[in-house]
Amino acid sequence: MKYAFKIAYFGENFFGSQYQPDLRTVEGEIRRAFQELGINSKPRFAGRTDAGVSALGQVIAFESEKEIRPRILNSVLPSDITAWAYKEVPESFNPRKAKSRVYSYVFLNEDFDIERMERAVELLKGVHDFSNFTKKWKGGKREIFDAKLFSDGEFLIFEIEGNAFTWNMVRCIVTALKLVGSGKPLEWFEKMLDPSSFRERIPPSPPEGLMLKEVKYDFDFEVDEVGLKLLRMRIEKRLKHHGTIYKLLSLKLDALDSGKKQN
């Protein structure tokens, strides 16, 4: 039998998704879990994620002689990886051949001109050569089905859906959007989408803000309710932890500002 599983992971603890023998990776942990369950298969991923990048809807495919569900895999996975949906698929299924992928990137609103950034986001839609937004000059043509930017309190969330993405593409686009929001001409952003006449390298934004949100196929996954409940619990636990740290750091800054005024 061949399965496709949806998995979520917290990227800060991994040196990327792809297996590296001497480093902790998502694939490495899944391989170890497979060995413990007696599954003689290596997982194939819908796409690679770099060190620090998280996922909610990464998809892996693997073969197993015995029936397996996400809750079974979760019993031997570490707490920063959770399987939560599944589908029995044909032997020919390749997780990389998806209809589309959706990424989300979260970053602090540093007094950006959001209206200008939204205009830049609209320019992304359609077919473009994104070679200026990746580490390789060739093979950057991709189709973007949808892209949007919206505010959420102190943060901005950029969401983009496309047929495929090049290495660091989303993080480099976010860098470009920040530059436009800080005063870089919108015409520069337009030129960045035409590398045949204009070339410029820009650094990618930090990986911690990026999440592979969803990978879409011509079928629906079946949710494992036990796996989903476990994932929600793990997310809520981390939210409380990081929320406490965020508030503590804010208090430190307030105390420093208060001390300056007293002096």
221 sits in which H/E element: none
- Angle, helices 114-123 vs 169-181, to 10°: value is 140
Q: Per-residue pLDDT tens for 26-45?
A: 999 999 999 999 999 999 99
Q: Is 224 a catalytic residue?
A: no
Q: Indicate whether 116 and 82 sit together in one domain.
A: no
Q: Indicate whether 93 and 107 sit together in one domain.
A: no
Q: Indicate whether 54 and 114 sit together in one domain.
A: no
Domain CATH for 120: 3.30.70.660
Which range of residues forms the domain containing residue 239? 2-97+224-252
Sign of CA dihedral 135, 162, 105, 27: negative
Say if residues 182 and 174 touch (Cβ distance below 8 Å): no
Q: Per-residue pLDDT tens for 69-108?
A: 999 999 999 999 999 999 999 999 999 999 999 999 999 9
Residue 262 counted as domain residue:
no
User: Does the predicted TM-score (pTM) go above 0.85?
Assistant: yes
**What mean pLDDT value characterizes the chain?**
94
Q: Indicate whether 198 and 126 sit together in one domain.
A: yes
Q: Indicate whether 110 and 189 sit together in one domain.
A: yes
Residue 259 counted as domain residue:
no
Q: In the chain, which ranges are E strands?
A: 2-9, 44-45, 54-63, 81-89, 100-108, 126-129, 141-152, 155-162, 210-216, 222-223
Q: Indicate whether 147 and 191 sit together in one domain.
A: yes
Q: Is 103 annotated as a binding residue?
A: yes
CB neighbourhood size of 229 (10 A): 12
Q: Indicate whether 22 and 86 sit together in one domain.
A: yes
Task: Please report where in the chains the tokens 């920063």 appear, as a residue.
Answer: 80
Residue 260 counted as domain residue:
no
Residue 219 counted as domain residue:
no
Q: Indicate whether 108 and 205 sit together in one domain.
A: yes
The count of structural domains within the chain is: 2
Residue 54 counted as domain residue:
yes
- Catalytic choice (22, 50, 111, 194): 50
**Alpha helices per DSSP H over 98-192:** 114-123, 169-181, 186-192
